[in-house]
Each structure stands twice: as structure tokens, then as C-alpha cells.
């Protein structure tokens, strides 16, 4: 059984300490201390800011055990979150750029469909070389998303209309198990963790996750919770669905090579099959319809796709470089 509310993680720096200490105090009566110097010194991609932001966002999902739910809308905490978001978004925009030309969307979509096949590609490494211990680390890193798979994207539903909305919801319906609780992709990943001898509880590996893993999930919450970023949310969603089948196919290869338990293989096999159908739907019915209806969002759609690739590349580099040096990719090694 996946826990309804996870426990608060240990802080990883001054910003995350401010957020976590506030939430641990009880009712939202205190306000964040002056954090200007902390914000100025923080790396927008760093573990401290990313953990602080993840904890703030989690208040909009399941919250934390023992934390007053009224913190979700506390003005002081929301203002701190806004400041962290501004720094994070500014860095994303600087690194990813934007291109509003219509051809840029098609070019990005085509690029997403071409998976590199060299040994530096994470999917290839997992398929052909990774040890079982590395697979377990990968599961832990991905658990902070897959145990809430589909949830961050759902924020964008009321911000869509027409065919884009209908097709988007159809894809999400599959992510949520097609009406069957035991087929929720979130539940299937919990089954994977249990079969792998790991903790299947919701956010059980939050303290283990690297900054790169946190950032990859935080962009989904950032895009989903801001109506102004709905184009980026759709671009990111499209990139996720398009790249899922080939990546999942490689995971199936790797897990079978290691004789992994069936639930581990089944999770990725489900994504090979389901997301292959989603690929064309998201391209022609969601993205194309959205930019036809709201052409002004084209730049943000491209931005969302580029951010997806950038976040995935950063995570892949972190994992592969850590393993090449013979060290764990996690902030805390698995017990």
C-alpha cells in the first residue's frame, strides 16, 4: 500500500532548511526569514533550491505527514516559491531558448524521434551494460516522478479546449489505468519497486534523489501550475510521450538481460505499447490543434520540448558520470 502522505525530507542547504523547518513548525503562522542572500547564492539547478521547490510543490499533491494542509496557500511560503521559480525559469529560458516559428515545432518533434545509439546514451547503457545495482539506483531516481505519473500534467486540462483537450485527456486516461486502479502507471511502478526489493511507498526515495532528478520533475509542476506556461506543459508532455517507447524498449532489453522480476519488465513493456499509440495522437491532435487554436503558444511549446531534452540530458550525464567513477548517483546510497 502506497502511503497517502510522505514524511518531510532532511534539508540539503539553507533554502530547503527554511522551507522544511517552516512546515515542521505546525500551523502557518510563521513567515520565511529574509532569504535574499540565500536566493542570490543558490544554484537554480542545485540540490538545495530543487529540494526546496519540490517540497513546496508537493503541498499541491499529497502533502506531508504531520504538516498542516493550510500551508498549501500560505502567502509567505507562496512568495518564497515564486522567487525560486523565477530564478529556475530564468535559467531554463537562458539555456533552452525559444523559437516561435512553426517549423521549429516539427523540427523538435522529429529530433525527439531520433534516439542516439552510442554508448553515451543512458537507455543504451541500461540495456547493455548496467548492473542490477545501477538499475535499482535508476528506479530510485525515477520514483519521485513515476509514483505520481500523470499527476503534474493533469493541471493543464482545464487550460485546454476542443480537440487538444479531448485527446490530452484520452492519453491521461491511459496513464491512470483506463479506469482500473491496479493498472495505474503509478501503481505499476510501486509493483516494480516491491519486486525489485525496494521501498514502494510514495516519495520513499525523495532524500536519495539527485538534483537532476528533482529538477526533471519540478519542471512538470512549474509548467502545470502556471497557466501562462501551458504551452510549455504541452511541449514537455509531447516530448515525454514521443521518447517513452524507444527508451522503455531499451529498459525491457536491459531488465530481461538481468533476469529481472516480471513486474519490473511489465512496467516498461506497458509504456512501449501504450505510448506508441500516444505518439501520433499527441503530435497531430494535441500539439497541432493547440498551436492552430493559439498560435501565440508556439514558442512555449518548443521551449517545453527543449527543456525536456535538457533535463533528461542532465540526468543522464549525472548517472553515467557517477557510475563511470564507481560511485553512487544517489545522494544517499541504497541500504
Q: What was the pLDDT predicted at 1?
A: 42
123, 250 Cβ separation under 8 angstroms: yes
Q: Which three cell numbers stand for residue 29?
A: 503562522
Span 301-309, mean pLDDT? 96
- Whether the pLDDT of residue 102 is over 80: the answer is no
Q: What was the pLDDT predicted at 275?
A: 66
Rounded CA gap, 279 and 326, in Å? 36
> Mean pLDDT score of the chain, rounded to an integer?
93
Helix, strand, coil percentages, rounded to 5, for the chain: 70, 0, 30
| Residue 9 CB neighbours (<10 A) | 20
6, 202 Cβ separation under 8 angstroms: yes
Longest Cα–Cα distance of the chain, Å, equals 54
Rounded CA gap, 288 and 101, in Å? 13
- Whether the pLDDT of residue 8 is over 80: the answer is yes
- Whether the pLDDT of residue 30 is over 80: the answer is no
- Whether the pLDDT of residue 2 is over 50: the answer is no
Q: Which three cell numbers stand for residue 16?
A: 530547503
Q: What was the pLDDT predicted at 266?
A: 96
99: confidence class by pLDDT, cuts 50, 70, 90 = low
Span 95-122, mean pLDDT? 77
Q: What was the pLDDT predicted at 101?
A: 66
Rounded CA gap, 280 and 310, in Å? 23
The pLDDT tens digits of the residues spanning 109-160 come to 888 887 766 556 999 999 999 999 999 999 999 999 999 999 999 999 999 9
Beta strands in the chain (DSSP E): none
Rounded CA gap, 94 and 96, in Å? 6
237, 264 Cβ separation under 8 angstroms: no
- Whether the pLDDT of residue 211 is over 60: the answer is yes
Name the least confident of 90-104, 135-149, 179-193. 90-104
12, 213 Cβ separation under 8 angstroms: no
Span 94-123, mean pLDDT? 78
- Whether the pLDDT of residue 28 is over 90: the answer is no
Q: How far is CA 225 from its chain centroid? A: 14
pTM of the entire predicted model = 0.95
Burial class (CB in 10 A: 0-12, 13-18, 19+), 177: middle
Q: Which three cell numbers stand for residue 279?
A: 505518439
303, 96 Cβ separation under 8 angstroms: yes
The pLDDT tens digits of the residues spanning 39-59 come to 999 999 999 999 999 999 999
Dihedral sign, CA of 62, 67, 70, 76? negative
- Whether the pLDDT of residue 276 is over 80: the answer is no
Q: What was the pLDDT predicted at 97?
A: 80
277: confidence class by pLDDT, cuts 50, 70, 90 = confident
Amino acid at each position: 500500500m502506497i502511503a497517502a502522505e510522505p514524511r518531510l525530507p532532511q534539508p540539503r542547504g539553507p533554502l530547503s532548511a527554511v522551507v522544511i523547518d517552516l512546515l515542521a513548525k505546525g500551523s502557518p503562522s510563521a513567515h520565511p526569514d529574509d532569504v535574499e542572500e540565500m536566493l542570490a547564492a543558490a544554484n537554480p539547478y542545485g540540490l538545495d533550491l530543487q529540494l526546496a521547490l519540490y517540497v513546496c510543490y508537493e503541498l499541491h499533491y499529497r502533502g506531508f505527514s504531520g504538516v498542516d494542509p493550510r500551508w498549501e496557500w500560505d502567502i509567505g511560503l507562496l512568495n518564497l516559491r515564486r522567487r525560486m521559480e523565477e530564478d529556475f525559469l530564468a535559467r531554463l529560458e537562458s539555456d533552452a531558448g525559444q523559437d516561435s516559428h512553426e517549423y521549429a515545432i516539427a523540427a523538435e518533434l522529429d529530433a525527439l524521434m531520433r534516439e542516439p545509439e552510442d554508448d553515451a546514451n543512458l537507455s543504451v547503457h541500461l540495456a547493455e551494460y548496467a548492473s542490477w545495482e545501477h538499475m535499482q539506483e535508476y528506479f530510485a531516481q525515477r520514483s519521485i516522478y513515476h509514483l505520481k505519473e500523470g499527476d503534474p500534467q493533469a493541471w493543464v486540462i482545464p487550460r485546454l479546449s476542443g480537440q487538444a483537450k479531448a485527446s490530452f485527456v484520452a492519453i491521461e486516461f491511459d496513464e491512470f489505468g483506463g479506469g482500473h486502479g491496479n493498472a495505474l502507471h503509478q501503481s505499476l511502478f510501486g509493483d516494480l519497486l516491491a519486486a525489485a526489493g525496494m521501498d514502494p511507498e510514495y516519495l520513499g526515495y525523495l532524500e536519495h534523489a539527485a538534483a537532476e532528478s528533482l529538477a526533471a520533475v519540478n519542471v512538470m509542476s512549474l509548467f502545470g501550475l502556471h497557466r501562462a506556461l501551458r504551452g510549455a506543459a504541452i511541449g514537455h508532455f509531447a516530448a515525454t510521450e514521443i521518447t517513452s517507447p524507444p527508451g522503455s524498449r531499451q529498459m525491457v532489453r536491459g531488465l530481461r538481460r538481468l533476469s529481472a522480476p516480471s513486474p519490473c519488465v511489465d512496467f516498461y513493456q506497458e509504456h512501449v505499447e501504450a505510448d506508441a499509440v500516444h505518439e501520433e495522437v499527441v503530435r497531430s491532435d494535441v500539439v497541432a490543434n493547440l498551436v492552430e487554436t493559439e498560435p501565440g503558444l508556439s514558442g512555449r511549446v518548443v521551449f517545453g520540448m527543449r527543456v525536456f531534452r535538457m533535463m533528461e540530458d542532465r540526468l543522464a550525464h549525472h548517472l553515467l558520470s557517477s557510475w563511470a567513477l564507481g560511485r553512487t548517483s544517489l545522494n544517499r546510497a541504497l541500504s
